Amino acid sequence: MQVLAISVEDFNALNELRLKNFAEFRSKVQSLEPANVDYSNKNYNYYSLLKAYEAVTQADYTNALKFALPVTNYTQDPALALRAKSLAANVLIISRDYSRAFSYLEEIKTLIDKVTDKRARNHGFNVLSLMYNRVDNYELAYSYSNIIYEDPGSITEKCHSSFNRIEALIGLNHDQVDVEIHNSLAVCKEADEPLFSWLITSLQMEFLVKNKQFLKAISIYEDALEQSQISDYVTVKTRIYHQATLAYIGIADYVSAEKLAKQIVKGSKDVLLSMPVQSSYYSLYQISKARGELKEALNYFEAYSQALAAYQNDRADRLLAYNLAVGQIELKNQRIALLDKDNEVLALQRDLYEQEARQNRLLVLILAAVLLLASVLAYRGMTGRYRFKKIAEYDQLTGISNRYHFNKQARLALQYCEQNAKPVAVILFDLDHFKQINDAHGHAAGDWALQAVVKTCRNFMRNNDVFGRIGGEEFAVLLPGCQIDKAALLAEICRDAIASIDCSDSGFDFVLTASFGVSGSDTSGHVLKQLLGDADNAMYQAKAAGRNRVMAFSN
């Protein structure tokens, strides 16, 4: 039987071929079937990893993990293990198995430090950049992708790092994003990498739409239609269609926008967590509403609300998994540090015992007691400061900012928005007939209601929104960078969500509703007192009009 050795060069060549000519790649991998070739252990692991890459390209993530996971434990070649763990983490992110994905975070970093194979290291850096982009840590995402971009092993690797790098730059609001996009497109063209060229093109259109250069974005989209390769990549096509939809809405071409938005939701029915799907439903809602087709608009708005909730839940799961992984890593490091300290103390005790025996035994015990007491006092001091800070700034019942902390954070956000000429809005809401709930069912039911309202509304908040409990049953939300009409829409979503809360879990049968008031900087300025006052006036108008409704302040 023929014995075939797969070299690192053969492996790298086949992996590069995968993105350029998948059919040829697949044919060559099939020729390496173990039934026809006698493999050494290492060669079989190379073969397994190639099969995993083949499965990923076909979006067969179950088989991708089946082939990749055994290779992650291959300790004889750290470079091979690094590639396998990076691929597994990437697949798990795509599959939304975030807990398992982020469990590889520290392992990938550790292996990168041990590996000298530049391509394997760059693969790890690319996956780290992807993972940090997914949790909005754009500084780290940029730093890892920039390592490859500044010192690539090849023009192909430089191209592959460009997408994560530009995505991070957009997240950081970098002032040279357009220049970096054009440079990266030139790199990918030189590397003959159509897939990554299209991915970067989708980011280019996103940047243009964000900066209201709608006609330029549409021109890029129309040029893309002439390129047949775009039809081979469904995900990339969806990204480009999404940005084209927003660009057509920007120039009020609702016919073209509607056509593309319907294509996106039709081709992505099982991907409610996708931002393009969520945005497309909202675009269809806006178009139907503008035409006066209210029933259809309501249907699209309900679909948008479901997609938004699914997207927010997915994002929350992703951030929770990441923070848990980071916490576990920190806990592990602390335990290792404590063990090291314990070993140092034990070694000192042993040396002193051997040198001075009985004469110094009492001294050793005293020193050990002092160290233990100091550690306990230091630990209590640190945890105490953290506990008192949390008590001082956060509402103990709901976990959101108390009135003092809300005012402090809101003023900082308002100062930033005013200096940067950004709009800001405030939502103020109060639970209707809350005293009756406490009187009829007791304070425990009232506390449950407050917690349920906060948990529900949090699903629709952004990271930079300031959410606080400023009274018994009164809440406020400050929305940086948000116009009053968008804030009123968010208030309407929260109002509807509160009214839909199933209160039977509290053990009592009652209905929760809330009245909302909304104000914005365009009428109330950037002064917190004025914004809250105007929102309060609007909220009392909502109560006077029958409660369980949203009113926006106007002069």
CB of 135 closer than 8 Å to CB of 148: no
Helical (H) or strand (E) element with 445: helix 443-458
Q: Is the dihedral of CA 113, 117, 122, 123 positive or negative?
A: negative
- SS3 state of residue 525: coil
CB of 80 closer than 8 Å to CB of 49: yes
Nearest CA-CA partner of 51 in 75, 34, 73: 34
Would you give per-residue pLDDT tens digits along the chain (555 residues)?
Answer: 444 567 777 777 887 777 677 788 888 877 777 655 444 567 778 888 888 888 887 778 888 888 888 888 877 888 888 988 988 888 888 888 888 888 888 888 888 988 888 888 988 999 899 889 888 899 999 999 999 888 887 888 898 899 899 989 988 988 888 899 999 999 988 988 888 888 899 899 989 999 999 999 999 888 877 664 554 566 778 888 889 999 999 999 999 999 988 888 886 654 545 678 888 888 889 889 888 898 998 998 998 888 888 878 878 888 888 888 778 777 776 776 677 676 676 666 677 667 776 776 666 667 655 667 655 554 564 544 545 555 678 999 999 999 999 999 999 999 999 999 999 999 999 999 999 999 999 999 999 999 999 999 999 999 999 999 999 999 999 999 999 999 999 999 999 999 999 999 899 999 999 999 999 999 999 999 999 999 999 999 999 999 999 999 987
Architecture of the 403-552 domain: 2-Layer Sandwich (3.30)
CB of 188 closer than 8 Å to CB of 157: no
Query: Please, what is the Cα angle at 190 between 189 and 192, to 5 degrees?
Result: 60
CB of 49 closer than 8 Å to CB of 68: yes
Rounded to whole angstroms, the Cα distance separating 485 from 476 reads 17
Q: Which pair of structure tokens corresponds to residue 16?
A: 């590069």
Please tell me the number of Cα atoms within 13 Å of 37 on its side-chain side.
16
CB neighbours (10 Å) of residue 388? 10
DSSP 345: H
Give Cβ neighbours of residue 347 (< 8 Å, ≥ 6 apart): none
Rounded to whole angstroms, the Cα distance separating 210 from 191 reads 28
What's phi and psi for 5, nearest 5 deg? -105, 130
Strand order in the sheet with 474-480: 466-469, 474-480, 424-431, 514-520, 550-552
Q: Which pair of structure tokens corresponds to residue 112?
A: 């990168």
Rounded to whole angstroms, the Cα distance separating 184 from 223 reads 18
Residues in the chain: 555
Q: Please report, in angstroms and rounded to a whole number, the separation of the first and last CA atoms in the chain.
A: 87
DSSP 38: B
DSSP 230: G
Task: Tell me the sheet residues that pair with 394.
Answer: 401
CA 400 to mean position of chain CA atoms: 21
Q: How many helices (H) and strands (E) does the chain have?
A: 24, 5
- SS3 state of residue 420: coil
Q: 542-545 — which CB contacts under 8 Å span 24+ positions?
A: 542/515, 542/516, 542/517, 543/430, 543/432, 543/515
Rounded to whole angstroms, the Cα distance separating 450 from 435 reads 12
Rounded to whole angstroms, the Cα distance separating 509 from 512 reads 10
Residue-level pLDDT at 308: 83
- Where are the alpha helices (H) located in 268-402, listed in sequence order? 275-291, 294-356, 358-393
Cα→Cα distances 390→23, 383, 465, 492, 539, Å:
58, 11, 19, 31, 30
CB of 330 closer than 8 Å to CB of 322: no
